[in-house]
Every structure is written in C-alpha cells, then in structure tokens.
Structure 1
Amino acid sequence: MNNIFKKAILLLCVSFIYSSCETVDFGNTNDNPNGPTAAVTSQLLTEAQKVVSEIGTDISGTLFTQQITEGQYPAQSRYATLTYNYNDYFTGSVQNLNEIIKLNTDPATMTQAEAFGDNNNQIATAKILRAFVLQFMTDSWGALPWSEAFQGIDNPQPKFDTQEELYNTMFAEIEEALGLINSNTGPSGDIIFGGDMSRWRIFANSLKMTMALRISDVNPSLAKTKFEEVIASGNYIKSNAANIEYNYTSDDAGDSPWHDRFKTREDYILSDAMMESLRTNLDPRLFKYAEPSKTGTAANPLFPGNADAAYVGAPDGKVNGNVPDFSFPTATIIYDETYPTPIYTSAQIKLSMAEAALKGWNVGGSTAATLFSEGITDSMTYWGVDAADIATYLAAHTSSTINDIAYEKWIALYLNGQEAWSEWRRLDAPALTPSEFAGDPRIPVRLAYDSSVQDNNQANYSAIISIQGPDDLHTKLWWDKN
C-alpha cells in the first residue's frame, strides 16, 4: 500500500513539473536583439565565398605535384595521410548556397530576398559557386552523394552519384546559371566581384572550359561542344587584366592563408623538382617564385653570373629540418597578408586553348603555337618578369607539343595546387618521381573517403566502391584515362 502511495505522489509531481513547463512563457529572454530574424542571403553568400580561397590555396595538390615540399614535418609529402574528409564543404559553403537558391525561388521568401539583389542573379551566382565547389570535390574524391543529398532525416543515407553523373550535373548547373544572368542588380555580399554579373559570366565560362578539357579523354564530343561554346560566346579571360583572383584584407579574419601559414612556422619550401626545372630551362620565373635561401647554395647554378646560386630546392618528402638552407616561396605570397590568390588566369586559359587547338577544336582562329607563346608570356608578365627575359625564354622554347603544354601548365599553375594536380593527372606530364621517403612510393591520384562515410552509409559506400574501384589514393578517377 505504501509503494502504491509513493508511486502516486511521484506521478503527481512529474505531471505538475511537466504541465508547469508547458505553460511557462519566458518571452524574449533568449532572443538576441542584434541577431537576424530570418536568413540574409548577402551574409550567406559572403560566408560561402570563403571556400574559393580555401580551394585556391589548397595544399595537397601543391605537395603532390612537387611544386613545393615540407621542412621538418614531411608527412603529406610522403603521402602519409590515407583518408580525407569532405564534410565541411557539404555542411558549410554548399548548404549556404543551397539556402540562397531556396530563398530566391520560394514564393514566400523571394520578395524579401530580392532586397539583396535580383533573384535570378543571386541564383546564378550560387549555382556557379556550387558547381565550382563540386568540381573541386569530385576531382578530389570521385563519386559523391549529391542528387539524393541535403534531405536531412528524410534520407540520411543518400546514394553516390558517379563522377560522370556529377560532371553532367555541373554542366547543366552552369548552363542554367548563364541563362539566368541579367543586367539587373547583382548580389549583395559578393566579396569576389562586387555584384558585377559580367565577371560572374567569365567565372562560369572559365569553369566550363576547364571542365570540358578535363573530360576530353572520356567524352571528347561533349568536351569539344562545351569548350567551343565558350569560345563562341567571347566571354572568357583574354588577358591578365581579366584574371579572376580572390582578394584579401589585412585583418586576421580576412587575410591570406599563405600569410597565416608563415606567421609562426616555416613549414613549406621549394622542391627540387620545381627549382631544378626552372633552373634547367633558364626560366626567369625562378626569381619570382622563390626567395634566395639564407644559408644554402645550389649545386649547379646555370644562370649567367651564377645569379641562381642561392636558389635551392629541397628533396621531396625528406626531413628538411634546417629550412634556411632552402628557398621559401616568394615573400610577396608568404608575408603580404593581402596578396591575392589566382583562381583562373589568362595563362591557364591560353594554354588550355593551345591544347584544344592541337585537338582540332575551334579556338577562334588562333594556332597552338601562338596560344602557347601567349600563355607563357601572360604567366611571366603576371609574375613581373621583364619583357627582355620573356623574349629570351620564348626564343629558346618554340615547340608546342602536348608535353610542352603540360609542362608549362605545371609551371604556370604554381601554388594553384588543385588545378596543377588535376592537370598533371589528366596529362601524365611532366614526369615526376615519387618521394623516395614515402612508405608507398606512388603519387596519389585521388583522395580516399573518410572512415565516417563507410560507417554511416555502408550500403551506398559499398555500391560505389564496386563501380569506382578500391577506396585508396591510387584508384584513377573517371576522366583520368592516360
């Protein structure tokens, strides 16, 4: 009887507490009076655009292609990182861009969103950026959850789209974005182009041209069509004045990642591969890409007057503990917090057009040789090389074969690691020797999925691995056929 009485009292107490919680109104006690009451598309865009800097300064491809190497902590130069996580892209920039598109297409929020720019221009900008991020991800990992992703608890285990499907999605996304761009107000919060939609058109076409060439070995007809569409539009980068760069501010929140990397550490130095290639070819970019070492001396200086004697590269993947013996990347990059990051440049576009000309594609009437020369010139001019030195180099480099183009792209894409790595994988040139210090002496050709992918989506993970190949660093991607 006592037990029954105690349980009854306990039940009444719980009921009283529950009902009290149900009826108490705390008013606006927990509301932030300075916070927004609804999503602001301009703020979403600004936050999403930061990913362009992250991609443009991504270190993995720069190390894999031996443009630079590491000092006393050479793990990544030895390919020691076995898995990589893409979650931050899905939950960060892509989700912000998804929300911008949603707010500008939903009849309930379109009018409010239009206060931050024309609805269609906001959608176009978000779609272009979303395709840019997706290309970075798929060119790193391959297949990804996409068409069934972003549904939350309605579909927590989405299927993976193959890389071919993702490229088709990206092309469709870009075409839709180009069709939406108009002369009305551009998006607020645009820290890249300040709402200039003509520049977003150039960005979209630069991405489209890059994607077209990327798939040229697996779908040459689609690649040719998409590439020639860009040429026919006339809206592409034709000079350094039109280069697409990510600009920084001098405060800690908006400064260059390269500047941050060298604030308290000196982890990155020029590699032997890059330094000796520049030296052997008497390439004046050597003096623009690197700083002279403080204590080292080159074993074989080749420039007149031994001008390159203090420019020293380091063995890739070795514990290069005494970093003053080697050359750092140029001071303008590592010590100037506002030095911009190139995303798409005239040199890159013209060298791509030179390759397209070799394939017999329409490149606007120019020739592979002319475009090759112009690409080198624009690269050297961008880095501040004197006109006389440019002329001397061009006179000694008149061949414009596919291997020549591949080499010059590797040089021109200095520190643009993702693009350098992707083009090196596609073209299999220039020849790079894997680090002799690596446990597995093979340069990675993709990133492996983080273990959480298999743990949280086992069935779809297994399904895509059966199609794509083993989940490691050495399974070639769909477009990597050479």
Structure 2
Amino acid sequence: MKKIYKNILLLVSITAIFNSCETVDFGDINEDPNGPTSAVTSQLLTEAQKDISTITTSDTGILYMQHLTEGQYPGDSRYGTLTFSYDNYYTGAIQNLNQIISLNEDESTMEEASAYGDNNNQIATAKLVRAFILHFMTDSWGGLPWEGAFQGIDNAQPTFQTQEELYTILFDEIEESLALIDETASGPHGDLMFSGDMSRWIIFANSLKMTAALRLSDVNATLAQTKFEEVIVSGNYIKSNEDNIEFNYASDDASDSPWQDRFETREDYILSDEMAESLRTNLDPRLFKYAEPSTDSIVSSPAWPDESDAAYVGAPDGAVNGNTVDYSFPTATIIYDPVYPTPVYTAAQTKFSMAEAALRGWSVGTNAESLFEEAITLSMEYWKVESADITAYLSTHTSATMEDIAYEKWVALYLNGPEAWAEWRRLDAPTLTPSEYANDARIPVRYAYDSSVEDNNKTNYDAIIAIQGLDNLHTKLWWDVN
C-alpha cells in the first residue's frame, strides 16, 4: 500500500508541475539579446549585392571570349563544363532581395524596415539588383522559372518563362524601380554599391535598361529603340569615366577582389594569344595596360618600332600552358591589389552602344563616328593610356562600321566576361577561332541547364526545351538570331 501511495503522490506532483508550466511566462529567455529578432534588410542587401561582383568577374565568359586563357588546367578554355547550375542565385541573393521587398511592402513590417532606409527606395534597389541578376541569368540559360518560383514546397515544380517573357519582366522591374525612387528620401542602408545615393541607382537602372534594350535590336527593334531612346531623353546615363559604375572592395579576405584571391596562391590565368595579337596588330597601347610583360619569353615579331611589345606574350587558347611565366599575366593592378574595383557599366561601353544606336538610325543626339571616337578615348583614358598614344591610335581607326564597333567593344569590355560574351553572340563579331584543343570546336552560345532541373521538374523542363531548342551549349538564345 505504501508503494501505491508513493506512486500516486509522485503522479500528482508531476501533473501539478506540468500544469504550472503551462501558465509560466518565460519572457524572452529563448531570444538572443545580441542578435536581431527579425530580418535586417541592410544585411540582406549587402549579401545580395555581392552577386554583382560574382557575375561581373565570372571567368567563363572571359575565357570563351579569349580575353584570357588558362595555364595548366584549361578546362573552360576548352569548353569542358557542359552544364551549369543557377541554384545559388535562387537560394541566395534572389531570396534575400525578395525578402527585402516583402518586408518593405507589408504593412505589418514596413515601419520596422524603414529603420534601414525609405521603404520605396529599398524596394527599388532590391528590384534593380534582382533585375541585374535576372538579366545575367536569362542571357546565360535562356528560359527560367520566375513568376512561379521562390515558393518552396508550395510550388516545387514551377513553369518556365521564355526569354522573351523574361525580358518583359526585366523591363517592368526597371520601370517600377525608377518610378519608386525618391532622391530626397533616405537610401537603403547596407548599400555596397552607392552608399544609399539614389541618383546613382537611377544611373544603374538606365545602364541596365540601355544594355537590355540593345540586346533586343534584332528581334524587336521597335521596343529596343523605344527603351534605348527613353534613357537618352532622361539624360541619366554614364557620360564620363567619373560616372562609371564599379564594384568596390575592402582589403579583408571576406570582401576583397576575386581576382586578387585567384592569384593569391595560384597562377591559373594568362593573356590569350587572341587578345595579345589583336592589340599588337592594331598597335593598340592598351596592350601595355591590360597585361604584364612575360618574365621568361618574347614574341618573334614585335610590332612597335622600338620593340617595346616584345615581352607581351599571349598563350594558345585551351592549350596546357603549364609554364605560365612564359606568358603575360593580367595587369598587376588587378591581380595583386585586393581593393582594385571591378567595372560593371562604363562610359566607354555606353558610348559604343550609342554609336551602334546611331548607325541603326535611333535618336542619340550625335553621329556614330564621334561617339565611336569618344568611346575609344574613354576606354583608353580609363586604363591611363597617354594622350599622345590615344591620338595616334585614333588617327588610324576612323571607320565606325558595325564590325568596327563590335571589335572595339570586345576590347573595351576586357575582363567583363558576361557582357563581352553577350555582345559577341549578338553582333557575331569579332571573329574568334575556337580552341583547337576542345572536344567540340565551337565557342558556346549559352549555358546548358544542370541535370537536376530535368530530374526535379521534368514536365516544365521538357516544355521550355520544346520552345527554345536542344539543351546544350550551342542552341542560340531568343535574341541571338544572326
């Protein structure tokens, strides 16, 4: 009996303790007093903006465009990567940007979010960074899941929008952002690009708009001209190198230049023979700015009268160039300076685009020849070429045909792989010889989808392939019609 009474008493005690716990208020005992209790939009923006640098310094387009080639391990110079994943953009930067927009639009959270900048300016900035990423992605893969994506298990198999539809979404995002921007209100905190200066975000928006518009020039000339001329009329575009949009770095390892990181312990990238000889043949003084002289070899036929170019040696594209000291590295200011900025949109790029627009008969305020000359000058001045050398070069490069513009743009977009690759595909110039060492001797014109896309979303994968063509590196995108 004593044992039974003890068990009953124990049960009653446990029940009393359990019931009392239901009414105890533990307050904020489970909250970290040193951390935020909700998403901080400034931190989300900072992390998302890092993808602008990741995209602009992406080496795949640089290698495809033969600005550089590789040393001992020439995989991408031989087009060896056959599929590419876009998952990191969807699960990282874009999710952060979507969260910024949601927190600033939702009436229950917008007041708290406004501590990190004006709500509309935060939304506009997030939309523009998202549009920049979308532009890169669709110009790489083509069709993508977009409007039905980002819903997790609620829509695990979203449909794809075609590239034409994605460009409509892209322009809508840009126009919505421009309409939201208030230059008199507080800009977003955590802004790595412009420290909250909304006038600079207007320039960014119009640079993206101008670039995207020109991309459509062969498939929808009317829309392309309209969007391009809207930028010109606004007057808010890059006019000088002081206006250039660059991604700036800090000196710590977590936020320094990707190029400096690449050369910290290895020497994988060297000047390609195609770039070196193109500059040499044209007596282009940018040769001495784009690269360092080789330490162990010289070319057999220098072009400059004083043979000052002899040590600027390009490597065969896609070869196993194991003894990298035989060739020229990219300029030391890029590969050894942790804070050297990366150009995103430049005055030279803008003026070349305007020169092309003038050739197409669009209204840009002046003629193609003067814009072409101005673009070359701006490119050379950016790279600190002496004025006398600029004058000498311009005196022998007076033509401004579409082919001339395409070549000079390819040169001026040195190390901006995504833009150089996209413009080469659109303009089909300059003529580049595919690597003789590649298994498939064709320069890729798109990224193929990662195999997980077909495995996890086969019905919608099959649908987009039926529209845009075979899923490989050689199916042209919607705007690439020539």
Q: TM bucket by the smaller chain?
A: over 0.9
Change (3 A) 1:148 1:299: same
Letter in 1 for 2:286: R
- TM-score for the superposition, normalised by structure 1: 0.94
Residue 311 of structure 1 is matched in structure 2 by 312
Letter in 2 for 1:207: L
Residue 114 of structure 1 is matched in structure 2 by 114
**CA distance in structure 2 between the aligned counterparts of 1:171 and 1:277, rounded to whole angstroms:** 36
Letter in 2 for 1:255: D
Is residue 386 from structure 1 mapped to residue 374 from structure 2 by the alignment? no
Unmatched 5+ stretches in structure 2:
1-14
Residue 215 of structure 1 is matched in structure 2 by 216
Is residue 81 from structure 1 mapped to residue 81 from structure 2 by the alignment? yes
Residue 167 of structure 1 is matched in structure 2 by 167
Residue 338 of structure 2 is matched in structure 1 by 337
Letter in 2 for 1:433: T
| Aligned 8 A contact 2:31 2:37 in 1 | no
| 1:30 Cα deviation after fit | 5.6
Letter in 1 for 2:272: S
Change (3 A) 1:25 1:356: farther
The one-character-per-residue Cα deviations of 1:130-167 (angstroms, maximum 9, x if unpaired) are 10000000000000000111111111100000000000
The one-character-per-residue Cα deviations of 1:53-109 (angstroms, maximum 9, x if unpaired) are 101101010000000000000011000100000000011111111000000000000
| 1:438 Cα deviation after fit | 0.2
Letter in 2 for 1:83: T
Residue 44 of structure 1 is matched in structure 2 by 44
Residue 233 of structure 2 is matched in structure 1 by 232
Residue 12 of structure 1 is matched in structure 2 by none
Helix, strand or coil for the counterpart of 1:342? strand
Equivalent runs, 1:435-446 vs 2, <5 Å: 435-446=435-446
Residue 419 of structure 2 is matched in structure 1 by 419
**CA distance in structure 2 between the aligned counterparts of 1:47 and 1:73, rounded to whole angstroms:** 31
- TM-score for the superposition, normalised by structure 2: 0.94
Is residue 370 from structure 1 mapped to residue 366 from structure 2 by the alignment? no
**CA distance in structure 2 between the aligned counterparts of 1:280 and 1:80, rounded to whole angstroms:** 30
Letter in 2 for 1:320: N
The one-character-per-residue Cα deviations of 1:152-203 (angstroms, maximum 9, x if unpaired) are 1111100000000000000011001000011211111111101000000000
| 1:31 Cα deviation after fit | 4.1
Residue 456 of structure 2 is matched in structure 1 by 456
Letter in 2 for 1:258: W
**CA distance in structure 1 between the aligned counterparts of 2:337 and 2:79, rounded to whole angstroms:** 29
**Which deviates more from structure 2 when the two are superposed, residues 149-158 or residues 426-435?**
149-158
**CA distance in structure 2 between the aligned counterparts of 1:340 and 1:373, rounded to whole angstroms:** 25
Helix, strand or coil for the counterpart of 1:306? coil
Helix, strand or coil for the counterpart of 1:305? coil
Equivalent runs, 1:342-361 vs 2, <5 Å: 342-361=343-362
Equivalent runs, 1:181-192 vs 2, <5 Å: 181-182=181-182, 183-192=184-193
Helix, strand or coil for the counterpart of 2:254? coil
The one-character-per-residue Cα deviations of 1:424-481 (angstroms, maximum 9, x if unpaired) are 0000000000000000000000000001101110100011001010000000000001
| 1:382 Cα deviation after fit | 0.1
Residue 271 of structure 2 is matched in structure 1 by 270
Residue 150 of structure 1 is matched in structure 2 by 150
Residue 205 of structure 2 is matched in structure 1 by 204
**CA distance in structure 2 between the aligned counterparts of 1:446 and 1:53, rounded to whole angstroms:** 20
Change (3 A) 1:91 1:303: same
Unmatched 5+ stretches in structure 1:
1-15
Helix, strand or coil for the counterpart of 1:172? helix
**CA distance in structure 2 between the aligned counterparts of 1:303 and 1:142, rounded to whole angstroms:** 44
| 1:245 Cα deviation after fit | 0.2
**CA distance in structure 2 between the aligned counterparts of 1:149 and 1:52, rounded to whole angstroms:** 21
| 1:307 Cα deviation after fit | 0.2
Helix, strand or coil for the counterpart of 2:260? helix
**CA distance in structure 2 between the aligned counterparts of 1:383 and 1:447, rounded to whole angstroms:** 31
| Aligned 8 A contact 2:295 2:325 in 1 | yes
Helix, strand or coil for the counterpart of 1:474? coil
Helix, strand or coil for the counterpart of 1:343? strand
**CA distance in structure 2 between the aligned counterparts of 1:413 and 1:25, rounded to whole angstroms:** 65
The one-character-per-residue Cα deviations of 1:19-43 (angstroms, maximum 9, x if unpaired) are 99x9799966764332210011111
| 1:330 Cα deviation after fit | 0.1
Residue 10 of structure 1 is matched in structure 2 by none
**CA distance in structure 2 between the aligned counterparts of 1:61 and 1:23, rounded to whole angstroms:** 61
How many residues are treated as equivalent by the alignment? 464
Residue 291 of structure 1 is matched in structure 2 by 292
**CA distance in structure 2 between the aligned counterparts of 1:24 and 1:163, rounded to whole angstroms:** 57
Letter in 2 for 1:436: E
Letter in 2 for 1:193: F
**CA distance in structure 2 between the aligned counterparts of 1:476 and 1:299, rounded to whole angstroms:** 39
**CA distance in structure 1 between the aligned counterparts of 2:23 and 2:360, rounded to whole angstroms:** 73
Identical-pair percentage: 69
The one-character-per-residue Cα deviations of 1:355-381 (angstroms, maximum 9, x if unpaired) are 0000000102x1100000000000000
Change (3 A) 1:24 1:265: farther
**CA distance in structure 1 between the aligned counterparts of 2:456 and 2:25, rounded to whole angstroms:** 38
| 1:300 Cα deviation after fit | 1.2
